């Protein structure tokens, strides 16, 4: 039962978040579903536990887009990846945006 480790996954800093990138990440229906599902959780959750109608590898692709554009944070733990919304960061950088999307 190892503790969550800081992995080599690339996450942009708060001040590196680009609006175009964030909007692009959110403009895909599958990713929108993922973000909303994530928002409905309190704790970080295994990214595989959110089911969307695409294959496993496509899911990996979408999680990467979300991560690289600063929407989510992921840490590896064991065989799974704990995933959470970067609520605070997003609210700090683009106040109101997440609210709109989650209300959507």
Partner DNA sequence: AACAAAGTTCGACGTCTCTCGTACTACAAT
Partner DNA sequence: ATTGTAGTACGAGAGACGTCGAACTTTGTT
Name the site residues for DNA (rule: CB under 7 A): 1-2, 24, 27-28, 30, 46-49, 53-65, 74, 77-81
Confirm if 60 and 83 have CB atoms less than 8 A apart. Answer: no
Closest CA to 85 of 44, 52, 49, 57: 44
DSSP E strands: which ranges in the chain? Answer: 45-46, 72-77, 80-85
How many angstroms separate the CA atoms of 36 and 79, rounded?
Answer: 24
Nearer to its own copies, 45 or 102 (CB): 102
Nearer to its own copies, 4 or 40 (CB): 40
Minimum distance from CB of 42 to DNA (Å)? 17
Nearer to DNA, 64 or 87 (CB): 64
Minimum distance from CB of 22 to its own copies (Å)? 8
């Amino acid at each position: 039962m190892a503790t969550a480790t800081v992995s080599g996954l690339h996450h942009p800093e708060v001040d590196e978040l680009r609006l175009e990138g964030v909007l692009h990440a959110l403009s895909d229906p599958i990713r929108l579903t993922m973000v909303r599902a994530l928002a409905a959780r309190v704790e970080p959750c295994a990214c595989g536990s959110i089911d969307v109608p695409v294959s496993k590898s496509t899911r990996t692709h979408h999680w990467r887009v979300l991560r690289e554009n600063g929407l989510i944070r992921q840490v590896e733990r064991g065989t799974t990846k704990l995933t959470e919304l970067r609520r605070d960061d997003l609210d700090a950088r683009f106040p109101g945006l997440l609210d709109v999307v989650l209300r959507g």
